[in-house]
Amino acid sequence: MANVDFRFGLKPIGHLLGLNWNSAVRKCYIPAADTSIGVFVGDTVELAGSADATGAYPTVTRCTLAATNPIAGVVVGVEPDPAVGLNITYRQNSTSRYVWCLFDPFVIYEVQACSAAVITKDSVGLNAILVATHTGNVITGLSGLELDSGIGTAPAANATYQLLILGASDDPKNDITAVNARWHVMISLQRFNSVWQVDTGGAAAQAGLKGV
């Protein structure tokens, strides 16, 4: 059975410790000076090292999707801005916008695998990265990120990759024998994971990331 090819980035669906992830959402800021591509719900972001004019809301920028690059969190909402239009549900390129980000390192996410290859059940427990073959959807405001099944980097036992695969979605319509299946993952290279606070990017940090 073919899976529906509907990309949405990382969607929070649970918590490793059984907690409510909603309380971990934090308001952040993307300045107009950030000329990266648009930011959508489901996109991964990293701290940009500054804050808005009030100093209360940290700046974030889209993550580099590659091994060794930590992820601070995932965009779960884009604050409405009448100045750009209430129908614009994503952050447009080179515009200032407040976004709501999920920074909790123990959140479990669902993500669609890309169409390059089929990810099998034997990939559970392996690490993976995200791929941005598609842009976000300007109508739905949802991310175009997918789990890389092999278009660039296939899942592997590599602690420098950004994600850890926990298992497939148990939705009866989710066919793991076909491409574009949906998988549950955690962010293993998580900015707020204690090992990254001590050593951001060194071998000591990377060594303990697989098998959160």
Q: What is the mean pLDDT of residues 128-137?
A: 95
pLDDT (tens digit per residue) in 22-42: 878 999 999 999 987 799 999
Q: How remote is the C-alpha of 42 from its chain's centroid?
A: 6
Q: Which of 10-24, 29-43, 104-118 has the highest mean pLDDT?
A: 104-118
**Between 209 and 168, the higher pLDDT residue:** 168
Residue 212 confidence (pLDDT) above 70: no
Q: What is the mean pLDDT of residues 85-103?
A: 93
Q: What is the mean pLDDT of residues 179-184?
A: 98
pLDDT value of position 21: 85
Residue 112 confidence (pLDDT) above 70: yes
Is 99 exposed, middle or buried (CB count within 10 Å of its CB: 0-12, 13-18, 19+)? buried
pLDDT (tens digit per residue) in 52-76: 999 999 999 999 999 999 999 999 9
Q: What are the backbone angles phi and psi of residue 23, rounded to the nearest 5°?
A: -70, -10
Q: What is the model's pTM? A: 0.89
pLDDT value of position 196: 52
Residue 199 confidence (pLDDT) above 50: no
**Between 199 and 168, the higher pLDDT residue:** 168
pLDDT value of position 205: 38
> What confidence category does residue 194 fall into, taking pLDDT thresholds of 50, 70 and 90?
low
